[in-house]
Every structure is written in C-alpha cells, then in structure tokens.
Amino acid sequence: MSAATAVATGQPRRSVPRAWHLIERNLFVYRRTWTIIVSGFFEPLFYLVGIGFGLGRLVGDVTGPAGQPIPYAVFIAPALLATGAMNGAVAEATFNFFFKLNFNRTFQSILATPLSVRDVAVGEIAWALIRGGLYAIGFMMVIAVLGLVRSPWAVLAVPAALLLGFATGAVGMAATSFMRSPTDFDLINIIVLPMFLFSATFYPIETYPEAIRGIVAFTPLYQGVALIRGLTVGVIGPEMLIHVVYLLAMGFIGLWVTSRRLDRILLK
C-alpha cells in the first residue's frame, strides 16, 4: 500500500510521519514539470560566473571573515549559495502556497483525510526546504569543483543553507496566509530583492555606515550568509551560534504563526 493510498483509506502508515504525505504529493505533482525546479539553480550560477569571475578580475581580493583577504569569487560564492536556498524555499512557501490555499483549494481537500492542519504546515515547509536544499547541494558541488571552498567545515554549509531556508520559508508562508490577492506579492519582492543586494552578498558589511550596518545585520539573509561564509572559508567562532539561534527562532515562530493561521482559514 502506498503512502497516499494509506491516507486516502484512513489507514496512514505509523512508521511514516504524516507530514511526509504532503511531500509525496508534491513529488507526484512535479514529476512532469521538474524543469521548473531545476531552472532556479541557474540564477545564482550566472551571478557567480558574471560577477564573481568577471567583475572579480577587476576587484581582486576583498575583506572576508575575521578581516582576512580572500578572492572576490570566494567571497560571493557562499552568499549566492545562501541566496539560492532562500529563493527556492520562499518560492514554494509563498507563490505556490498561496495558489494551493486560495485557488486550487488543495489543503481543504487534504483535510478530508486523517491529516491535520499542523501536518499541512509542516509538510509544506518541508517541501520548501527540499527545493531550497536541492539548489544548495547543486551549487555547493559547483563551487567545490571551481576551488572556491577553503575549509573542510564547508560540509556544514548545506545544513546551514537549509536552516536559512527554514527561517525565510516559514516566515514567508506565515505572511502569505494573510494575503488575499496575487498583487500582494509585490511586498514579498520589495523585501527579498533588497536583502539579496545588501546582505553582504557582493561586498563586506563594513562598507556600510554604522546605522545601516545594524539594519543589514538583523536581516535573515545576512545571518545565513555570515554563517555559510564562515564555514566555507574556515573562520569558526562563537558568533555562529548567534546566527543559528536567530534562524531557528525565526523558523519556529513562522511555523507557529502558519499553523495558527491555517487553523483559522481552513477550519472556520
């Protein structure tokens, strides 16, 4: 008996977390449109080639973690890895989640099975993490082959990228639950694009004035970039625990808000 059949007949397999059935459903849906997911991998790759290697020849070395000079491509590669993981998770947790909730009414149908609202929230976040994780793994392989990884600590870069995806995806999903029109997604773009440009992605945070530096340091993408960059260049310190705690707290708060909002929307 497959997992989907077990749920449909009211006999979910006890050995499998029930949120897995949401992941299984998404895998089934994307089996014929997998190019949509794969295409998201190329955007950070183009930035790496065009800016990291192209512009990097003019820039030379920049100040990396702990003040050590590193090649420009080595500097931006972990930031683009973080951005790819964030974009993949946010795309699933916002745009796709919105249409499932408000137009396709997917979740209303799912709740006719033994799955709960919490299962829906956890399953959708998990699927968003899988998409972001695929981008992170693929990009990590590329930068490793190109010699842009300077430390064995880089093996933790993909889990760190998943943590960033969890934080931004959960908050994005919580925010999406308040949206009523596709035009509201302009607000998502207004937030995501500046984060991409200014979260120490292309230049060190020290280049900002003190006041702006504090704002940038509070953004989730900067927290993820600082964490992943430290791992890939081998600068490990206690401040990394701050990044981890920040992202975990943000993710669990977003997941909690999403569950509460789905309770109101789906069970009213």
Per-domain residue ranges of the chain: 26-266
Predicted local confidence at residue 113, as pLDDT? 86
Note whether 86 and 165 are within 8 A (CB): yes
> What tens digit of pLDDT does each residue of 183-201 get?
888 888 899 999 999 999 9
pLDDT for 29: 81
In degrees rounded to 5, what are phi and psi of residue 33? -125, 35
173-178: average pLDDT: 93
Task: Answer whether residue 11 shows pLDDT above 70.
Answer: no
Average pLDDT, the chain: 87
Nearby residues of 148 by Cβ (< 8 Å), 6 or more positions away:
52, 73, 74, 77, 232
The model's confidence at residue 109, banded by pLDDT at 50, 70 and 90, is confident
Residue 192's pLDDT is 92
Structure tokens belonging to residue 258: 């999403």
Question: How would residue 178 be classed by pLDDT, with cut points 50, 70 and 90?
Answer: very high
Burial 105-137 (b: 16+ CB within 10 A, else e): ebbeebbebbbbbebbbbbbbbbbbbbbbbbbb
Instruction: Tell me the two tokens of residue 64.
Output: 């990396």
- One-letter amino acid identity for 149? V
Q: How far apart are alpha carbons 268 and 266 in whole angstroms?
A: 6
